Amino acid sequence: MLDLLIKNAKIIDGSGSDEYFGSVGVVDGKICKADGTEEAKQVIDADGLYLTPGFIDSHSHGDQVLGQYPGMLAKINQGITTEIAGQCGGSMFPVTPEHIDLEKGLLAIGTHTFPDEMIQWKTAKEYFDYAKSVPIIGNMKILIGHSTLRAAVMGYDNRKPTDAEMEEMKRQVRIAMECGAAGLSSGLIYSPGCYGTTDELVELASVVKEYGGFYATHMRSESISVVDAVKEAIEIGRRAGVPVWISHHKVAGRPYWGASKETTRLIDEANASGMLVTADQYPYEANMTDLNICIPPKYFVKGGVDGMVEALKNPEMRKQIKAEMQDVNCGYDNFYLNAGGFENIFIAGCPEVKEADGKYVTEWAKIVGKDPFDAYFDLLIANGGKANAIYFTMGEEDMCRIITNPNICVGTDGTCRSLDEKTHPRTFATFPKAIRYYHKEKKLFTLPEIIHKITGFPAERAHLKGKGLIKEGYDADFVLFDYDKLYDTPTYADPVQMCDGIEYVIVAGQVVYHDKKTTGLFPGKIL
């Protein structure tokens, strides 16, 4: 007897091949052949529905809200059954007690609540032991973050590591890989990751090579120097001998639109030369990150985020920072300029001043009767520097050019700290929007092609064994959706909504989401 039988489905198997009509069986969490006549403990009649592999979020920060309901709901409602987390240089480990506050400040974009056990995560071993004990709905593969690693070993010092510090960082990477980490991630626009050199990253990534992992990077620039940033990412991979994964690839800032012609050419050339270079993208014209990202990195050196906040309390420092933010030759990835000013910066996660949520900085400035810079600085102070914002920076032509490249897949880059807090709509809706926007509206892909980009392709590139295909012996992770009803309901103004058309989500053969509700089952695993 089967544990689960799904019959009368329009099946897209994740390989890119054409759809077919049929049935699928499940025994002990694995896919088996079925013709629809078998006896089963549970039967789903999928008449009129598409059956696909579970969607794979190739860029997640879900480790920062591990086991928390809002984070799990955000992913499972849009069909995600596996996440690759620990991205942008920010993992939850390793932790050094004397630097734990600095590390929490670094991770605040993803969470405001930290488990009491965090103080014990001195290496990946302690963290993975903890993570495997936490009930989760979907599966998760985790990277070790370069910024967290640097903060644990060096604090926020803007300097090269000593030989002893480098050896300690390499030791930590080695432990992480032995525990099952996917590789090393970097966030090279964030402090303290931005203080790391190319040579430093090559040396750390070389450890990853020993274990068959990959290097994922939020590059040093996504605007004025985006081409050079892609070159650096490829150089790191080539010198270290590891595959490269470029995170949420975009061209941010109207003056730089069109640079994707060169960045995708570089990615193609690298793959043609024998390297493996992948990138992910979310289908939105706006990105989301820290509200503090407009502040020059040098103000984080003394005391991290807290040190930056203290600088903002000094009137003379405020004047200086304001001038530097407006300087087109500022020398850092300036999100204030990339967005074209505060009128295009949308406050989306302001826990201590919730009235500001859902408003552009210029709108908030009018409400409080302040200059936009002062309103912005005061928000950062009031929230201890720990707030989020959405930046409208991207153009449609670049987005379409990037996603149609054969080395690009889809990732959310979404975080959900609370259902009461504004977030980016990508957090709840990336995958239905990718299907709607790129397939239904733009007609850039057939349905099997776009499904391949969100299932089989990322599974192959990330070495997710048994994932991404409807194939005998593979893990029984599925999505059943109604094609005509499928729609990404979340918006920038109202981002916390369930998508339409996702009828069932199944993990390891167990129904975990149905009728826009979770079922209370937790079959997910740390991979």
SS (H, E, C) 104-123: HHHHCCCCCCCCHHHHHCCC
Task: State the amino acid at position 140 in one-letter form.
Answer: M
Neighbours of 104 (CB within 10 A): 18
Asked if 356 contacts 379 with a C-beta cutoff of 8 angstroms, the reply is yes
- pLDDT single digits (tens) 437-460: 999 999 999 999 999 999 999 999
Structure tokens given for 284: 């939105």
The pLDDT value given to residue 370 = 96
Characterise 462 by phi-psi region: left (phi > 0), alpha (psi -120 to 50), beta (else): alpha
pLDDT tens-digit map of 79-138: 999 999 999 999 999 999 999 888 888 887 777 789 999 999 999 999 999 999 999 999
Nearest to 415 by CA among 498, 356, 350, 349: 349
- Residue count of the chain: 527
Contacts of 440 (CB under 8 A, 6+ apart): none
Residue 329 banded pLDDT, cuts 50, 70, 90: confident
Which class for 473: exposed (0-12), middle (13-18), buried (19 or more C-beta within 10 A)?
A: exposed
Give the pLDDT score at 302: 84
Cis preceding-peptide flag for 161 (omega within 30 of 0)? no
Third-level CATH fold of 2-53+469-486+495-517: Urease, subunit C; domain 1 (2.30.40)
Q: What angle do CA 182, 184, 189 make, to 5 degrees?
A: 135
Q: What percent of the chain has pLDDT over 70?
A: 100
Residue 501: pLDDT band (50, 70, 90) is very high
Local structure of 280: helix, strand or coil: strand
**CATH 2.30.40.10 residue spans of the chain:** 2-53+469-486+495-517
Strand 214-218, strand 345-347: pairing: unpaired
pLDDT tens digits, 282-309: 999 999 888 998 999 899 988 889 999 9
Among 307, 64, 327, 87, which Cα is nearest to 188's? 87
**Amino acid present at 423:** T
> What is the per-residue pLDDT across 251-285, written as a single tens digit (0 to 9) for each?
999 899 999 999 999 999 999 999 999 999 999 99
Average pLDDT of the chain is 95
50, 73 Cβ separation under 8 angstroms: no
Q: 523 is written with which tokens?
A: 């079959």
What 3 state SS string does 186-230 have? EECCCCCHHHCCHHHHHHHHHHHHCCCCEEEEECCCCCCCHHHHH
Q: Which residues contact 348 (CB under 8 A, 6 or more apart)?
A: 288, 357, 358, 388, 389, 390, 421, 422, 423, 424, 492, 495
User: What is the widest separation between alpha-carbon atoms in the chain?
Assistant: 77
Residue 276 CB: number of other CB atoms within 10 A? 14
CATH entry 3.20.20.140 includes domain 55-289+393-461: yes
Domain limits, CATH 3.20.20.140, in the chain: 55-289+393-461
Q: What is the pLDDT of residue 104?
A: 87
Mean pLDDT in residue range 413-436:
92
